[in-house]
Amino acid sequence: MNYLWDGILNLKSSISEYNNSIAFCYLNLNNGAVAINENLSDRTNQLLLIFKKEIAIPDKQLAIRIVDNRQLLFFNEDQLASETKLFLQQYLPYCFLSILAKEKERAIVVAHFAQTLDGKIATENGDSKWIGNKENLQHAHRMRALCKGVAVGSKTLEIDAPKLTVRHVRGTDPVRIIIGNPPPVFDSLLESSTAAIHVFCSKDLAKLPNINYHYLSSEDGMICPKEILQKLYRLNIFSVYIEGGASTTSYFFEKGAIDILQLHIAPILFGSGTNGIQLPIINKVKEGKLFDQYSFLPVGDSMMFTGFCK
């Protein structure tokens, strides 16, 4: 799938850099070339992506109609191998995040957890390696490459010392984003990449070189997620991949600041441990969080739930 992954990366970059409205584009499945709003004479091995509903699909053309920049409707898909279609289903929607960001005038958020069947992301003593399989690890690095920024809470930075770089696939390292009031220990980030580091905090922290600090107000010790996303948008960071921790992701979800939720569901039960999404208590089923659209797709010997939040 390397050739197709290169095409996905090229499509993401081309769309994010295109400043006008996109009616349609072609993605060459052989070399990854992208042509936006340009009718091609040779459509061999070209995948037509249609954004405007009034655009007609040429006869026998392999095409995908994009609905609301997220739903994919395939046409003449018999021309695709099954694994190619699955790959497109998994990653094409993330090429359009910059379009959604410009519509909402804030960064778009994708959150990810690897969890057990009973919703645990770690044991009681904090062990979590590896709930997800190797395919999920590769998926996480693909998502880092597709999003402009990757975010974690300050506790995750302190405890896990993550690199937050793209290492298992081809792609550019994302901007690293820390949410909270972290201790001045950024070695894992500074030593792993030259990508920018942004800290969104509510306290006047000691400034370190090569770190960008943004001071925002807080409520009960938590910074307003939508203020963070608006600030990121003004920094031209149109998409953010949140990888933890549980409290940061849950707070974003509670405040309606997560657009897409990915749950890698491993075939294992803990019966105890740390919950991934932790929300206030509800009394009725109808009070639960619903999704506008969702899918379950295989990821190795596990599966991925992807839900677009209301």
Domain with 78 in it: 2-95
Instruction: Note whether 126 and 275 are same-domain residues.
Output: yes
Which of 47, 65, 95 is a domain's end point?
Answer: 95
Q: Model confidence over 16-68: pLDDT tens digits?
A: 999 999 999 999 999 999 999 999 999 989 999 999 999 999 999 999 999 99
pLDDT value, residue 233 = 98
Instruction: Note whether 66 and 138 are same-domain residues.
Output: no
* Residue 138's CATH number: 3.40.430.10
pLDDT value, residue 309 = 93
Low-confidence ranges of the chain (pLDDT < 50): none
Question: Which candidate, 62, 71, 80, places its Cα nearest to that of 1?
Answer: 80
- Report the alpha-carbon distance of residue 248 to residue 291 in Å, rounded: 20
- Report the alpha-carbon distance of residue 95 to residue 72 in Å, rounded: 12
Instruction: Note whether 75 and 164 are same-domain residues.
Output: no
Q: Model confidence over 257-296: pLDDT tens digits?
A: 999 999 999 999 999 999 999 999 999 999 999 999 999 9
pLDDT value, residue 142 = 98
Instruction: Note whether 47 and 110 are same-domain residues.
Output: no
Instruction: Note whether 77 and 217 are same-domain residues.
Output: no
- Report the alpha-carbon distance of residue 115 to residue 133 in Å, rounded: 11
Instruction: Note whether 285 and 226 are same-domain residues.
Output: yes
- Report the alpha-carbon distance of residue 233 to residue 239 in Å, rounded: 8
Query: 206 to each of 182, 183, 201, 225, 288, how far by Cα in Å?
Result: 10, 9, 11, 23, 41
- Report the alpha-carbon distance of residue 192 to residue 258 in Å, rounded: 27
Instruction: Note whether 117 and 221 are same-domain residues.
Output: yes
Which of 43, 76, 95 is a domain's end point?
Answer: 95
pLDDT value, residue 128 = 86
Instruction: Note whether 85 and 114 are same-domain residues.
Output: no
Residue 226 lies in a domain: yes
Instruction: Note whether 67 and 146 are same-domain residues.
Output: no
pLDDT value, residue 222 = 87
- Residue 164, SS3 per DSSP: coil
pLDDT value, residue 310 = 82
Instruction: Note whether 91 and 110 are same-domain residues.
Output: no
Instruction: Note whether 259 and 293 are same-domain residues.
Output: yes
Which of 64, 95, 126 is a domain's end point?
Answer: 95
Residue 87 lies in a domain: yes
Residue 100 lies in a domain: no
User: Any idea what DSSP says for residue 205?
Assistant: P
Number of domains observed in the structure of the chain: 2
Helices 134-146 and 2-17, packing angle to 10 deg: 30
Instruction: Note whether 6 and 46 are same-domain residues.
Output: yes
pTM of the model: 0.94
